[in-house]
Structure 1
Amino acid sequence: MRPSSRPLILDAAIRVTERDGITALTLESAAREAGVTKAGLMYHFPSREDLLFAIQKHLITRWEERLAELLGKPLAEATVRESTTAYTIEGAANTASKAELTFMLESTAQPALARQWDELMHRWAPLPERLEEPADVDLLLARMASDGMWLYEATSGAPLPAPLKAALVERITALTDPARPRA
């Protein structure tokens, strides 16, 4: 049995977006980049909207794989604090790709696409139901700081210097663990 060209097409569509922007992403450009015919692409993705939706799922699956690796155990066995720690480390330590940022922004105008990102964030770093303890506020602050670093690096055009980034990641991560001594 021949392997599916679906993942190859998704990766190719992401490359087109990285290189040329989302407006340049068409069924034709994705097929050309993937080395398949437009008909072959349309077998998997009958429309551009289907392709966009699948790319979102593909990017989210990549995030979840990295988060699961950081967590080191199944998400179902983790506490909210442990999963939020993995989320904050991933977000703060890794720079968003142009495609990740583009597709996340694109999703804001389309509820079905936005729901995918919202569900990822709710699974891994849910907003606290109540803020009774300082540690609850710290956990939320860590998530917000991590999201801010991710966005800053994705939009600034200049990465943070490595020592500064490491110090920020360390400080953000310290917020997720109330027993950890503060620097």
Structure 2
Amino acid sequence: MSRPSAKQEVVKAALRLAADTGLAALTFEAVAETAGKTKGGVIYHFRSKDDLVRAVVQQLIDEWDADASRHLGVPFDDATREDRIIAFLLSCVDPGYEITAAGDLSVLVDVMRDDRYVGIWTSLREKWIGDVSTLTITQQIALAAADGIWVDEAMQQAPYPDGRRETIVAELSRMVRGN
């Protein structure tokens, strides 16, 4: 495995910082300190805070996309729409990357408040889900429930009894398939 570039190290550090404190708290100084770089080193890669925030949001979306692909298990183009929806659902409730559900939520709440970045998120959801209005009611309920699990866990309010969470996630997958 190759070593990440300095720019990638800055982006990952900025994402960790944003996950802890929100996008508004991103400053060149704070990111430089978190990344172990100089402020000038951060500015070299990102001329404006907007460029940095855009890179952070894109990094989160790229990680989420890669995680959904991990859950998919087959090439994207070979998957059915139901397979893709389930992979996306599983990436919501079983993320395989370092940012926690609370970190995801922190960044995405900020993203949804800013028209400059919301399109990055919606493009991911459209890729994996498609037009939500074309889903069955049961599929829409399954997605809403997965979002609810994600938010509950981000808010540390989801103490499921042993095995119950897995049973719920399996039921949501079944609902997407229409079984």
The equivalent of 1:37 in structure 2 is 38
* Larger mean Cα displacement after TM superposition, 63-72 or 140-149: 140-149
Identify if the C-alpha distance between structure 1 residues 9 and 168 changes in structure 2 by more than 3 Å, giving closer, same or farther. Answer: same
Q: Which runs of 5+ in 2 are unaligned?
A: none
Identify if the C-alpha distance between structure 1 residues 89 and 19 changes in structure 2 by more than 3 Å, giving closer, same or farther. Answer: closer
State the distance in 1 between where 2:20 and 2:10 align. 15
The equivalent of 1:97 in structure 2 is 101
- Displacement, 1:80? 1.1
State the distance in 1 between where 2:102 and 2:148 align. 16
The equivalent of 1:72 in structure 2 is 73
State the distance in 2 between where 1:15 and 1:92 align. 19
TM-score, normalized by length of structure 1?
Answer: 0.84
* Larger mean Cα displacement after TM superposition, 10-19 or 164-173: 10-19
The equivalent of 2:111 in structure 1 is 107
- Cα RMSD between the aligned structures? 2.2
The equivalent of 1:120 in structure 2 is 124
State the distance in 1 between where 2:91 and 2:131 align. 17
Identify if the C-alpha distance between structure 1 residues 21 and 122 changes in structure 2 by more than 3 Å, giving closer, same or farther. Answer: closer
Larger Rg: 1
The equivalent of 1:138 in structure 2 is 138
The equivalent of 2:159 in structure 1 is 160
Partner AA of 1:140 in structure 2: Q
* Larger mean Cα displacement after TM superposition, 27-36 or 158-167: 158-167
Q: Please tell me whether the aligned partners of residues 142 and 173 of structure 2 are also in contact (alpha carbons under 8 angstroms).
A: yes
Does structure 1 residue 83 correspond to structure 2 residue 84?
yes
- Displacement, 1:160? 2.7
The equivalent of 1:11 in structure 2 is 12
Q: Please tell me whether the aligned partners of residues 14 and 55 of structure 1 are also in contact (alpha carbons under 8 angstroms).
A: yes
State the distance in 2 between where 1:20 and 1:44 align. 22
* Larger mean Cα displacement after TM superposition, 29-38 or 95-104: 95-104
- Displacement, 1:177? 1.8
State the distance in 2 between where 1:97 and 1:47 align. 27
Partner AA of 1:169 in structure 2: V
Identity among equivalent pairs (%): 27
Q: Which runs of 5+ in 1 are unaligned?
A: none
Local SS of the residue matching 2:140: helix
Identify if the C-alpha distance between structure 1 residues 3 and 101 changes in structure 2 by more than 3 Å, giving closer, same or farther. Answer: closer
TM-score, normalized by length of structure 2?
Answer: 0.85
Corresponding pairs, count = 173
Identify if the C-alpha distance between structure 1 residues 92 and 58 changes in structure 2 by more than 3 Å, giving closer, same or farther. Answer: same
- Displacement, 1:20? 4.1
Partner AA of 1:112 in structure 2: R
State the distance in 1 between where 2:133 and 2:42 align. 43
